[in-house]
Amino acid sequence: MIRRALSMLLYAALIVSAGVAVAIDPLPFANPAEELRFQQLVRELRCLVCQNQNLADSDAELAKDLRAEVFELMRSGKDDAQIKQFLTDRYGDFVLYKPPVKPGTWLLWFGPLLMLAIGIFLARGQLRTREPSASTDDRDGEFS
């Protein structure tokens, strides 16, 4: 009975994992170094459809098109910075997983710190305005 339960559990895990696996379309890389460069580059670029996945992990049609475009740009002799600039010009800073620090992205970079500072300021103000509890006024433990 335990063996049957384990085999059913394994079967269910295989079915679930089959739906999760994403395969990148095979591309004709010239050498392993070019493939490694491509893999690193598509991991630094965000899928515009999924938004929480990089181009390497996404199976959206736009991600497939962008991977093909990145490959073609690499083949045309562009370096990583030029490829990122091309995609940023076309889709904005959102396509980068690590957008540059500039006035348009200050809120993204410094917003969490600003919210933390405001929270600390408000909590400190609340702690200062609290009235002392009545138990500190009692003397010798006697009640009047």
Split at pLDDT 50, 70, 90, the class of 20 is: very low
- Pick from 2-6, 95-99, 118-122: least confident: 2-6
User: What residue has token string 């009975």?
Assistant: 1
First CA to last CA across the chain, in angstroms? Answer: 74
Q: Are 64 and 50 contacting, i.e. CB atoms less than 8 angstroms apart?
A: no
Report the alpha-carbon distance of residue 48 to residue 111 in Å, rounded: 23
Instruction: Provide the token pair at 126.
Output: 């609340």
Residue 54 in 3-state DSSP? strand
Q: pLDDT tens digit string along 71-91?
A: 999 999 999 999 999 999 999
* pLDDT computed for residue 129 by the predictor: 83
Mean pLDDT of the 31-36 span: 91
Q: Are 49 and 60 contacting, i.e. CB atoms less than 8 angstroms apart?
A: yes
Residues 6+ apart with CB under 8 A from 63: 47, 48, 49, 50, 53, 55
